[in-house]
Amino acid sequence: MKKMKVAVVGYGGMGGWHAEHLLKSDVAELAGIYDIKEERSALAQSRGIYAYPSYEALLNDKEVELITVAIPNDVHEEVVVAALEAGKNVICEKPVTISLESLDRMIAAAEKNGVRFSTHQNRRWDVDYLAMKQIKESGEIGKVINIESRIHGSRGIPSDWRGEKVHGGGMLYDWGIHLIDQVLMIFGWDVKRVNCICDNITNKEVDDGFRLDITFVGGERATVEVGTYNFIAMPRFYMRAEKGTVLLSDWREEAKVVKCKYWHENDVLPVKTAAGLTKTMAPRDSVTTDTYTVAKPASDVHDYYRHFINAIRTGCEQDVTYDQMRTDLKVILAAFQSAETGMPVEL
């Protein structure tokens, strides 16, 4: 099938990523880029990529069926809506936008113009997350009680627009949106309540880290934590279920499962603590548990474009639905409200 012509708006860090991936795509062809900064256009041209002289010129290019928008978060809406109004299908970088009213205007523009609109939740193809999802869905450790998902770094928040509130900066919008989307993909989209505490360690204007607790309608719980001032990182994923526990220590590692074979133990060897012996906290042995690792699932991030282009061509449901975009954003906005008020927020 003929490749779909795609243009990228914003040739910064992520726009560069899209351009590079589109050049290798088996379903899409890079038509060119548009960036408001001349030096970014010049850089693209030096790499043999066509740079549109204006956004209007891009919108008037009839060959382009799909536009990917990769610019700072506060200006997504105006650029996305202009593309939708010009009859283009659109992929917008995450977070799709920074208010629900803004998202509703974007969705309404897509529906009015009969085109498709998606947001780039590319971390749905991360193998660490996919491993946790696969273990939960296999049922091998029974019903999952809670999951903890963390990303810890030690270099503070980037010193660009991400550090400024007006541009939709901060870690909830930057990394939070990915990790929230992942736990909603694992537990489903029925969120009951959120409780959030934000860090302002290296940046007073926007959150440079946070801890978000999500309770689902079914009773499951998720903790999502991002830190940029953590000189020792906690494990990437930890999951407890009726029949076992899963640990994924680092995104380069495989998941380790300890499954309970027998609940009852005849001879528990106590462990010594500073204050005396304990059987309650003594580790289990291989008589009552099975320990194994789970191989990393196969994943190809090009599937994001493959699936979306297929949805445009066939009319089938897209991976990232409008309802999912709304719920992801609602959770983020509720997290901000909870952090500000110091109270849990019901969704």
Ligand X SMILES: NC(=O)c1ccc[n+]([C@@H]2O[C@H](COP(=O)([O-])OP(=O)(O)OC[C@H]3O[C@@H](n4cnc5c(N)ncnc54)[C@H](O)[C@@H]3O)[C@@H](O)[C@H]2O)c1
Instruction: Note whether 58 binds ligand X by CB under 6 A.
Output: no
Q: Name the minimum Å distance from CB 255 to ligand X.
A: 22
Instruction: For ligand X, give the closer residue by CB, 56 or 346.
Output: 56
Q: Helix, strand, or coil here: 259?
A: strand
Binding segment for ligand X (CB under 6 A), chosen from 69-77, 202-210, 221-229, 338-346, is 69-77
Instruction: For ligand X, give the closer residue by CB, 38 or 63.
Output: 38
Structure tokens at 195: 């409780």
CB 334 within 8 A of CB 345: yes
Q: Helix, strand, or coil here: 10?
A: coil
d(CA 147, CA 220): 8
How many of the chain's residues bind ligand X (CB under 6 A)?
A: 25
Q: Taking CB under 6 A as the rule, which mask of x and - marks residues 100-129 in contact with ligand X? A: --------------------x-x-------
d(CA 172, CA 98): 11
Structure tokens at 137: 């869905």
Q: Taking CB under 6 A as the rule, which mask of x and - marks residues 23-52 in contact with ligand X? A: -----------xxxx--x------------
Sign of the CA dihedral 65, 71, 73, 76? negative
d(CA 181, CA 331): 9
Instruction: Note whether 322 binds ligand X by CB under 6 A.
Output: no
CB 9 within 8 A of CB 27: no
According to CB under 6 A, which one of 7, 15, 32, 106 is a site residue for ligand X? 15
Structure tokens at 31: 């038509």
d(CA 277, CA 230): 33
According to CB under 6 A, which one of 4, 6, 8, 14 is a site residue for ligand X? 14
Binding segment for ligand X (CB under 6 A), chosen from 71-79, 198-206, 287-295, 334-342, is 71-79
Structure tokens at 54: 């204006």
d(CA 250, CA 151): 9
Instruction: For ligand X, give the closer residue by CB, 173 or 237.
Output: 173
Q: Name the minimum Å distance from CB 9 to ligand X.
A: 5
CB 100 within 8 A of CB 156: no
Instruction: For ligand X, give the closer residue by CB, 60 or 278.
Output: 60
Q: Name the minimum Å distance from CB 173 to ligand X.
A: 7
The residues, ordered by sequence, that sit 6+ positions from 122 with a Cβ below 8 Å of its Cβ are 301, 304
Binding segment for ligand X (CB under 6 A), chosen from 8-16, 203-211, 272-280, 319-327, is 8-16
Instruction: Note whether 153 binds ligand X by CB under 6 A.
Output: no
Instruction: Note whether 13 binds ligand X by CB under 6 A.
Output: yes
CA of 165: how far to CAs of 44, 103, 170, in Å? 29, 18, 7
Q: Name the minimum Å distance from CB 33 to ligand X.
A: 9
Binding site for ligand X (CB under 6 A): 9-15, 34-37, 40, 70-73, 75, 79, 93-94, 120, 122, 160-161, 174
